[in-house]
Amino acid sequence: MSRKVAVRAKPGARRPRVEPLPDGTLLVAVRERAIEGEANRAIEAALAAHFGVPRAQVRVVRGARGRDKLVEIG
C-alpha cells in the first residue's frame, strides 16, 4: 500500500533534517543543491530513511522542478 506525502524542499541546507510543518507538509532539508536532480535524489533518500523503507520505494511524482513536491512512498 502506498501513500503520498506533501513535501517542502530546502536544498543547500546546512543541516539535513525532516520535520513536520503546521499545515501537515514535511520540510525536507538536504545539503545537495538543486542541480541535475541531486536534491530530489537526496530528498527521496532522506524520506526513505525517515519512514524506514527501501530507497527504491520512494519517488517524486509531482514538483520535480520546484520546492513543493508530492512524494509517493511504498
Asked whether residue 57 carries a pLDDT value surpassing 90, the answer given is yes
Q: 25-48 pLDDT, tens per residue?
A: 999 999 999 999 999 999 999 999
- For the four alpha carbons of 10, 16, 22 and 24, in that order, the dihedral sign comes to positive
∠ CA 11-16-22, rounded to 5° = 80
Output the pTM of the full model.
Answer: 0.94
The percent of residues above 90 in pLDDT, for the chain, comes to 97
